[in-house]
Amino acid sequence: MVAPESIVEAFEGAGYRLTSPRRALAALIAARTGHFTAEDLLAEANRGRHGPGRATIFRSLEVLAELGAVERLDLPSGGHAFVACEPAHHHHVVCSSCGRSTEVSDNGLEGMAEAIQRETGYRVDTHRLELFGVCPRCRSRAT
């Protein structure tokens, strides 16, 4: 869904050192088609015998989330997951069947935030929108 290089570049561009655990992690993330949890990556890393360790995975995901190369999602279940993405403001629709996700511009939401600001008097600083549904592929397969 995302090239491993773009993740490596995120590290690089922000002045982080290029290490083999980070390269390996980039590959693991790039190999994912949908959203994934830290646990998923960890399991995958342990499968191959030279994958990054638990601590590195968590630490790197945090960095990547800060850099915007990855976004943290709050699943309806209360758990956390991540999706690789382009570093621009946007949101995701996540397929609850296969986990695949698609980016969505927040076209319209900006306006809504302004309307809310006017109505409530709050100064709205940030928002998070998460959409969950079924992707086209799963819809047709489900038939």
Partner DNA sequence: GTTTTTGCAAACCATTTGCAGGGTC
Partner DNA sequence: GACCCTGCAAATGGTTTGCAAAAAC
The binding site for DNA (CB under 7 A) comprises 16-22, 37-39, 51-56, 58-60, 62, 78-80
Which of the listed partners (DNA, its own copies, none) does 130 bind, with a CB threshold of 5 to 8 Å by partner kind? its own copies
Which of the listed partners (DNA, its own copies, none) does 95 bind, with a CB threshold of 5 to 8 Å by partner kind? its own copies
Determine the Cα–Cα distance for residues 56 and 60; give it in Å rounded to an integer.
6
Q: Is 70 helix (H, G, I), strand (E, B) or coil?
A: strand
Is there binding between residue 3 and its own copies (CB under 8 A)? no
Which of the listed partners (its own copies, DNA, none) does 77 bind, with a CB threshold of 5 to 8 Å by partner kind? none
Is there binding between residue 80 and its own copies (CB under 8 A)? yes
Q: What is the DSSP letter of 51?
A: P
CA nearest 7: which of 62, 68, 56, 49? 68
Is there binding between residue 30 and its own copies (CB under 8 A)? no
Half-sphere exposure of 69 (CA within 13 A, CB side): 23
Minimum distance from residue 61 beta carbon to DNA (Å) = 8
The token pair that represents 89 in the structure block: 């403001």
Q: Which CB, 9 or 106, lies closer to DNA?
A: 9
Determine the Cα–Cα distance for residues 83 and 102; give it in Å rounded to an integer.
10
12 Cβ partners below 8 Å, 6+ apart? 18
Residues near its own copies (CB under 8 A) are 72, 74, 76, 78, 80, 93, 95-96, 102, 104, 107-109, 111-113, 115-117, 119-136, 139
